Amino acid sequence: MEETLSLSALPNWFVVLPDTDAATAVAAKTLAYASHSLRHASGRPWVVGRWAAETAVVGVHGETRVAVVGEHSVTLREARRAAAAVATAASLTALDRHSTTWAGSFHLIASSGGRVRVQGGVVDLRRVFHAAAPSPASGQVSIASDRADVLAELVGAALDERRLALELLTLGVPHPLSGSPQWRGVHVQPGGHHLTLGIDGRARSARWWTPPAPEVSLAEGATRLREVLTAAVEVRVRGRDLVTADLGGLDSTAVCCAAARGDAQVVAYTAALHDELGDDVHWARRTVQALGSVEHHVVPAQDTALTFDGIDTLRDILDTPSMLTVDRNRRMHLVALAAARGSGLHLTGLGGDELLAGTPARLHDLMTAHPLVALRDVRGYAAKYQWPRRKVLRQLADRRSYRSWLARVARDLTEPAAAADEPLLDWSVPPRMPPWATPEAVAAARELLNGCLPDAEPRGRGHGEHRELAAMDGISQWTRHIGQMAAPFGITVAAPYYDDRVIEACLAVRTPDRITPWRYKPLIVEATRGIVPDSVRTRDTKANATFEEETGLRRHRARLLALCEASRLGRLGLVDVGVLREWCRRSLSAETESYLLHPTVACEVWLRSREMAPAPPGR
């Protein structure tokens, strides 16, 4: 892997440095590739990297500095007030009173009294990585960044083959190892935690966010969601002449309609599906007709890439493997059209499913608080998804801990996958290693899972909250990868549903009001009265891309087989290439078989992309 690939080629990244001379050497290396540099009151480099100037605001009060970087509307005055609060209280925790009211999605970075605080969001869209850099003065000094690969290059970290083996898991890596960096010595902050860099060169982590209790009524929650979602969209749209947006399902429709209430010209894109049962285009046209102010483009199915298109030629520089790789060209086609139209911002509805539909696993808590309501909903879900009654009762009666579930996952890595009719009431669907994983890969994955057991705690309180937050972590990481793929097009992909304020508003709603088998996403339906046209607002369908998967596999089989040649995963001893090649030659079901390929393709493509020669250093 090239030592400066990401530092040289990426258009957006930043590194946060502690206020100590021990960071002088790593600061000098970082500055060689940066276009922007902020400084501590001492004059030492503080935040160094590449970012668009309009995405950052810095407030100063005495020797305290507060920087906000991302999609936000924080003014210089507000940033200065936050800095003044920190200085007056002589504590970085004073930031919480201010930042917990700000709309948008951003990193918050502060420097005061020789200490530095860095935090992202409550899920994994805005991430904070940290590592120990070599220091001639003190041996090591901790630094932080929004990208793992940038840190790995700065500190000279080596690839961790064991961690890459874990990425082969067919349903994703379970919490707390999901999204972990692929390099030895590079670490990541969990969502809702902040990192403190001390003058002693050490990094310390602490929680700053706890999910709200689900106590708010549907009516009150809808009012609050309406306020924060429209504010989240306005943050992105304000001051722009033109923005683009996805217009597909109900979630993206709500975002697009909220954007249309502003002054910017909204240009919406709907990708037609090859499957004739897909009805996104029908509902999108009804939306546009009712709004009367949105420019709309339907991308014909024949012009939209299928799954696995181009996977043997991709050159995206991602800091972790991404299962979105198999659909990269389909998703980036709309982004490229948006960029060609002149947009610098593209809105998406990603994140809505986890927040607005939620998970039936919340029934565990509901059985205790409201048993009659829970029993009614259990019957509804069992009928809707055709779950066997015996399996439903077994999972609801299971009181074993998350740690116990994770131990079973580690033990059963090579067992058959869960049945298609398995209820979604457990901590999660247990992931498995694919048939082509070598014994060494299985052993490495099992070792890592067992190694985290002593400290493993669920992501949330109970099965439901855990499952929702873990799902948001996973999908928000995909959204983050989309942003990394889109950055070279000069366009920001914004996902308002992952804003902290939006997440809080949804999670605060009472479980039976937000999550029910009897209505489709009732919270967004009520929250968007007067925003989304009534003829569309009560839509209860969702498109499915199964046809795109199965057809893509047949059409692009040669590309899959090309990845088997000189396989990097094979060289590392993680994949039996012969088994993988035979699997790729088979006719596979999209519902039960071909999805097993996605993590492996992601890892193989990621390894190949890290071999590219870096671009010349530039500013």
**H or E element in which residue 140 lies:** strand 139-145
Strand locations in 354-460, DSSP E? none
Q: What contacts 35, CB < 8 A, 6 or more positions away?
A: 49, 50, 51, 619
| Residue that wins the pLDDT comparison between 397 and 279 | 397
pLDDT in tens, 60-74: 999 999 999 999 999
Residues 451-464 as b/e (b if ≥16 CB within 10 A, e otherwise) read ebeeebebbbebbb
Residue 592: what pLDDT?
74
pLDDT in tens, 89-141: 999 999 988 898 999 999 999 999 999 999 999 999 999 999 999 988 778 99
| Residue that wins the pLDDT comparison between 264 and 302 | 264
Neighbours of 292 (CB within 10 A): 8
Tell me how far apart the alpha carbons of residues 500 and 429 are, in angstroms, rounded to a whole number. Answer: 26
| Residue that wins the pLDDT comparison between 376 and 594 | 376
**H or E element in which residue 492 lies:** strand 492-494
Output the CA–CA distances (angstroms, integers) from residue 328 to 281, 501, 597, 610, in the order listed: 21, 29, 15, 17
Tell me how far apart the alpha carbons of residues 104 and 57 are, in angstroms, rounded to a whole number. Answer: 14
Residue 613: what pLDDT?
63
Residue 276: what pLDDT?
66
pLDDT in tens, 535-589: 899 887 776 667 788 888 899 999 999 999 999 999 999 999 999 999 999 888 7
Q: Could you tell me the sign of the dihedral formed by the alpha carbons of 245, 246, 248, 250, in that order?
A: negative
* CA-closest candidate to residue 598, choices 308, 174, 273: 308
pLDDT in tens, 456-493: 999 999 999 999 999 999 999 999 999 999 999 999 99
Find the mean pLDDT for residues 595-607. 96
Residues 357-395 as b/e (b if ≥16 CB within 10 A, e otherwise) read bbbbbbbbbbbeeeeebbeebbeebbeeeebeeebbeeb
What are the backbone angles phi and psi of residue 348, rounded to the nearest 5°? -135, 155
pLDDT at 312 over 70: yes
Residues 8-34 as b/e (b if ≥16 CB within 10 A, e otherwise) read bbbebbbbbbbbbebbeebbebbeebb
Residue 227: what pLDDT?
98
DSSP SS3 for 356: helix
Tell me how far apart the alpha carbons of residues 598 and 325 are, in angstroms, rounded to a whole number. Answer: 8
pLDDT at 617 over 50: no
pLDDT at 616 over 90: no
pLDDT in tens, 159-191: 999 999 999 999 999 999 999 999 999 999 999
Residue 277: what pLDDT?
65
Output the CA–CA distances (angstroms, integers) from residue 470 to 169, 239, 338, in the order listed: 16, 35, 31
Beta-strand pair 193-197/203-207: antiparallel
Tell me how far apart the alpha carbons of residues 485 and 491 are, in angstroms, rounded to a whole number. Answer: 10
Q: With cut-offs at 50, 70 and 90, classify the pLDDT of residue 44.
A: very high
Residue 615: what pLDDT?
52
**H or E element in which residue 514 lies:** helix 511-514
Q: With cut-offs at 50, 70 and 90, classify the pLDDT of residue 279.
A: confident
Q: Rounded to a whole number, what is the largest CA-CA distance in the chain?
A: 67
pLDDT at 619 over 50: no
* CA-closest candidate to residue 337, choices 309, 307, 296: 296
* CA-closest candidate to residue 523, choices 281, 284, 353: 353
Output the CA–CA distances (angstroms, integers) from residue 435 to 329, 558, 575, in the order listed: 27, 20, 9
pTM exceeding the 0.85 threshold for the entire prediction: yes
Omega of the bond leading into 176 within 30 degrees of 0 (cis): yes
pLDDT in tens, 66-99: 999 999 999 999 999 999 999 999 999 999 888 9
Exposure of 144 in the CB half-sphere (CA atoms within 13 A): 31
Residue whose structure tokens are 């992909």? 493
pLDDT at 1 over 70: no
Residue 307: what pLDDT?
92
Tell me how far apart the alpha carbons of residues 335 and 479 are, in angstroms, rounded to a whole number. Answer: 13
Mean pLDDT of the chain: 94
